[in-house]
Amino acid sequence: MADSNFDLIVVGGGPGGYVAAIRAAQLKMKVALVEDQHLGGICLNWGCIPTKALLRSAEIYRQMNHAKDYGLSAEGVGFDLDAIVKRSRKVSKKLNLGVGHLLKKNKVTVFDGFGKLAGKGKVAVAKDGQAVATLSAKNIILATGARARVLPGMEPDSKLIWYYKEALVADLVPERLLVIGSGAIGIEFASFFHTLGSKTTVVEMLDRIVPVEDADVSSFLEKSLTKDGMEIITSAGVKSLKKGKTTVTATLEVGGKTETREYDRVIVAAGIVGNVENIGLEGTKVKVDRTHVVTNEWCETAEPGVYAIGDLAGAPWLAHKASHEGILCVEKMAGLKGLHPMNTLQIPGCTYCHPQVASVGLTEAKAKEQGQKVRVGNFPFQANGKAIALGEAEGFVKTVFDAATGELLGAHMVGAEVTELIQGYTVAMGLETTEAELMHTVFPHPTLSEMMHESVLDAYDRAVHF
């Protein structure tokens, strides 16, 4: 064992942890980062990045099957699932190595092991049950992330029942696929396998899919997926899964009635739980609420000198939120001036199904619940020249404004490349932009972004092209 003194110890090397470590190093802190599995965390290795690689393959496959619509010919179009998965893993590996390079470049000391609080200002590091080091620092950031919520009786077995890790390295495209949960993870996997040929059923316990999104987006997406052949069952639950030799029999509860169905594979996407176990929270003032560490707007826990960021610290469960928190709390502990506390309403969310979904801020319903009078704009993809030229005339852009002040309260999109477009509205919200500035902003033509402009205009009865 070795005792080492640092200015900051970061426990966890995911998108929150490694970014926090790098920013601290830039601010001339002596930094240690402890990671026991893989740099880049779940997002880079088993989440955001590899799923996007899979979905890109599915997107190209979809386009190839519609080559005729573009005046092109493509015969005998097929796919190699093993090659698709290998490409996805290769992308993740490349970025994993890149994170390691960045940490080395910034002189962050990386400890390969499991980190655990071991008294005030101390972290014990162990690997395979063997002590590696005891580290000391004035400040400690917990960035241990989260894992999939495992439902009793529906545990993953790498064969018939999959969670996200098993789905990412699938050995086949199931003929009949059941997806439990319609959040971003469930819908993305449903979209991927459905595009490759699975007869896909999505079961959601709430009354609409992607339930965190604006109701109009949920409705549109459900109609689009259903039109494409996917089965969507809302206000329903899966009571049990019974595994056979090669299939799974699911007992569904729909409308107060139960029915059994047979599937070749099941993907469970029922949320996440924070990794709060065995990290030394006992004996500290750190508070845990429903498996997530409680923090204030500066990512501080109730224990002096201990911070928590990312999925460990609560919703929204997004990599970019974790990275922003990492930078925020490091700059706060460094005493930088002019900082703004975390505002989760200004964090955009993206779902990379087909069509894509993206949003930021309040939904129309949420704004009204808060008693605000709103003006709402809506502009369809089918009225946009670039969307028509792309052959992607499906979707819309919706904007929600405060009727009294013109403040942009929220923006909600569904359609091609909206995950790239949403940042325009995110910047606008950060700058406290009103409808007046957005109306007078010149958007390039022909682009999909013109719909963002037209949606603003529509909120004030000034839309030109619809």
The separation between the first and the last C-alpha atoms of the chain, rounded to the nearest angstrom, is 70
Residue at which a domain ends, from 213, 246, 270: 270
Q: Are 5 and 312 in contact (CB under 8 A)?
A: no
**Could you report the average pLDDT of every consecutive run of 10 residues in the chain (466 residues)?**
83 97 98 95 91 97 96 95 97 95 97 96 95 96 96 94 96 98 97 98 97 98 98 97 97 94 97 95 95 96 97 93 97 95 94 98 98 97 98 98 97 98 97 96 98 98 95
CA separation for the pair 424, 129 (Å, rounded): 48
- Same domain, yes or no, for 165 and 209? yes
Output the six-digit token pair for 282: 């006992």
Residue at which a domain ends, from 290, 320, 344: 344
Q: How many CA atoms lie within 13 A of 357 on its CB side?
A: 26
Output the six-digit token pair for 460: 């004030």
The pLDDT assigned to 1 comes to 47
CA of residue 16 relative to chain centroid, distance = 13
CA separation for the pair 449, 451 (Å, rounded): 5
Tell me which amino acid residue 147 is: R
- Same domain, yes or no, for 327 and 376? no
Q: Is residue 23 part of a domain?
A: yes
Q: What is the CATH number of the domain that holds 128?
A: 3.50.50.60
Q: Is residue 156 part of a domain?
A: no
Q: Is residue 323 part of a domain?
A: yes
Say which residues have a Cβ less than 8 Å from residue 5's Cβ, sequence separation at least 6. Answer: 30, 135, 136, 137
- Same domain, yes or no, for 32 and 141? yes
* Three-point CA angle 259, 264, 269, nearest 5°: 75
The pLDDT assigned to 3 comes to 56
- Same domain, yes or no, for 8 and 137? yes
Q: Is residue 196 part of a domain?
A: yes
Tell me which amino acid residue 191 is: S
- Same domain, yes or no, for 337 and 454? no
Q: Is residue 413 part of a domain?
A: yes
Q: Is residue 49 part of a domain?
A: yes
- Same domain, yes or no, for 300 and 216? no
Range of the domain at 217: 161-270
- Same domain, yes or no, for 125 and 22? yes
Mode of pairing for the β-strands spanning 395-402 and 374-380: antiparallel
* Beta carbons within 10 angstroms of residue 120's beta carbon: 13
Q: Is residue 241 part of a domain?
A: yes
Instruction: Write down how long the chain is.
Output: 466
Q: What is the CATH number of the domain that holds 435?
A: 3.30.390.30
- Same domain, yes or no, for 143 and 287? yes
- Same domain, yes or no, for 104 and 237? no
User: Between the CA of residue 351 and those of 91, 118, 272, 346, what are the distances in Å?
Assistant: 19, 39, 17, 16
Residue at which a domain ends, from 344, 369, 389: 344
User: Between the CA of residue 159 and those of 166, 249, 304, 464, what are the distances in Å?
Assistant: 8, 14, 46, 54
Q: Which residues of 410-438 are buried (b: 16+ CB within 10 A; e: fewer)?
A: bbbbbbbbbbebbebbbebbeeebbbeeb
DSSP-assigned states of every residue in 193-238: HHHTT-EEEEE-SSSSSSTTS-HHHHHHHHHHHHHTT-EEE-SEEE
State phi, psi for 164 to the nearest 5 degrees.
-60, -40
- Same domain, yes or no, for 29 and 141? yes
Q: Give the count of domains, the chain.
A: 3
The pLDDT assigned to 314 comes to 84
Q: Is residue 212 part of a domain?
A: yes
The pLDDT assigned to 2 comes to 52
Q: Are 212 and 361 in contact (CB under 8 A)?
A: no
Rounded to two decimals, what is the model's pTM? 0.95
Q: Are 238 and 258 in contact (CB under 8 A)?
A: no
Which residues on adjacent β-strands are paired with residue 376? 400
- Same domain, yes or no, for 58 and 85? yes
**3-class DSSP state of 6:** strand
Point out the residues that are catalytic.
445
- Same domain, yes or no, for 17 and 135? yes
